[in-house]
Structure 1
């Protein structure tokens, strides 16, 4: 979807307010939550809609933690229009629970997701991480911020800060005329402390998972300048309960694009190199049609 809204007045507090959904009257057996209207952008940021949908689902799952979210973006969201999130309790088992979430603006369905929760603690575990030694060893300290890199790529003015601070590894790959690889690595962290609520940490991770993703594919085709990107679907697997109190790494790669649709895969790791989450998204990269 579009880039996130930016607000210079404490953007993290603004995001947390948007994740603090208000319960509303149930409809047809579904739990309903509402979020206030957003402003300051042409379309709503898909990561925000996915994070709000996850938060709505988590509000109905008393036991277990969110371990996956699979969603489809059905329509572009309209800024200035309130959102509602209807949560249907699909299953409540001994070890797993499932919720269906439909996000609406008025009568329009704009996003639909399935969320799965688990309280299962099995004894099978393994991990194989493609190396990110250089990024993990160097840390985010002297790296340029995402907004300055984005502004240079698009030729647009710098925007006020987002709720997340993002630092770019190997920024030379984003320079005009560069021949970038099909991969990207950034560091991320919230711009302040988060509440001690695991649901908030999970929702902010899902919000973060839609940042920088489609640009990994777009820069192989000249960047975002003049394009109308749109996320088509989004999936996040949370391998452990995330704590976003420190910097974390977001590494993405795009193995294929065909017929204007690009697949991008992402992985989030903490500073110790442990994987927090895996992400997959297919997005549409198109140029506006010229009117004759």
Structure 2
């Protein structure tokens, strides 16, 4: 079953090429009110990667979510070949649904080069084998929630998560705005670096902006809360594999004006910093 879920996710990121710079991807309903932002990020990166020399790897992605996506409709990705220089290539990607843009992004690629190196140390946390998988929510509690929330919290994902500090996803206690989560694909996949980067773009949208809700004791199950990603940035630093354990170290330095800001660092289990992320999201409590 896990292998089938992983293959479905990979197929979701394998876009149909309509023209030289035009691609089409399908949508999946995973229980979020609209298309999951990570899906659009991963597909946008997948589209851009198909227009660049394979010797050039994506090193940064910056995107704005302009509109909510329709889970019942495909998404068209228009790639603009902004520049191909001696060392770097730039691409602009616009995701379109029903004739309107839902995401506007810029992605930069670079040839392999060597230079100065340093990195911050990985936080001292337990290894994933020392932690338990996410506990399923009891059926009677899940049944009392709206259908969409049931699908989100009861979903069987192609990605495994193990929280260093587990919390009650229905009634979280207030705590400092930081969390550490191990994650990996639920089954091994082929060694294709471009695919692993697209998969990390997908996974990087999980848990990130939720870090900004931790001091307030709210979650996606809070019935009067509206929550959505506004923008997303992702930097790739070093090689990695998505089917090996990665640590997502997230913190949220501020929330204000119905917006929360969060940062993330992705480490391999041997302590290499392989990626960084940042996101601002809408966190609106309705009367």
Q: TM-score, normalised by structure 1?
A: 0.86
In the alignment, the residues of structure 1 paired with residue 135 and residue 195 of structure 2 have an alpha-carbon distance, to the nearest angstrom, of: 23
Structure 1 residue 47 displacement after superposition: 0.6
CA contact (8 A) 1:164 1:190 kept: yes
SS at match of 2:95: strand
Task: Count residues with an aligned counterpart.
Answer: 274
Q: 2:261 aligns with which of 260, 263, 268?
A: 263
1:200 maps to 2:195: yes
- Give unmatched runs, 5+ long, in structure 1: 1-6
Do the aligned partners of 1:173 and 1:179 also contact (CA within 8 Å) in 2?
no
Question: RMSD between aligned alpha carbons?
Answer: 2.4
Partner of 1:17: 11
SS class of match (1:200) = helix
| Aligned equivalents of 1:22, 1:229: Cα separation in 2 | 31
Q: Deviations over 1:35-54 (max 9, x none)?
A: 12434543000011001000
Distance 1:287 1:146, change over 3 A: farther
Residues 212-231 of structure 1 mapped to structure 2, 5 A cutoff: 212-224=207-219, 225-226=222-223, 227-231=225-229
State yes or no: 1:32 paired with 2:22: yes
What is aligned with 2:116? 124
Distance 1:146 1:125 in 2: 39
Partner of 1:247: 245
Residue 39 of structure 2 is aligned to residue 48 of structure 1? yes
Q: Give the secondary-structure state (helix, strand or coil) at the position aligned to 2:125.
A: helix
Kindly state the Cα deviation for residue 287 of structure 1 after the two structures are TM-superposed. Answer: 2.5
Q: Residue by residue, what CA displacement relative to the aligned partner does 1:143-173 show, whole Å, maximum 9, x if unpaired?
A: 2417659x89x96655131111111111158
Q: Which residue of 2 aligns with 1:3?
A: none
CA distance in 1 between counterparts of 2:135 and 2:248 reads: 13
Shift of the 106–251 alpha-carbon distance from structure 1 to 2, 3 Å rule, reads same
2: CA distance, partners of 1:39 / 1:142: 29
CA contact (8 A) 1:39 1:79 kept: yes
Aligned partners of 2:172 and 2:218 also within 8 Å:
no
Gaps of 5+ in 2: none
Give the CA deviation at 1:88. Answer: 0.6
Residues 242 and 56 of structure 1, relative CA distance in 2, 3 Å threshold? same
| 1:165 corresponds to 2:160 | yes
CA separation in 2, counterparts of 1:253 and 1:277?
15
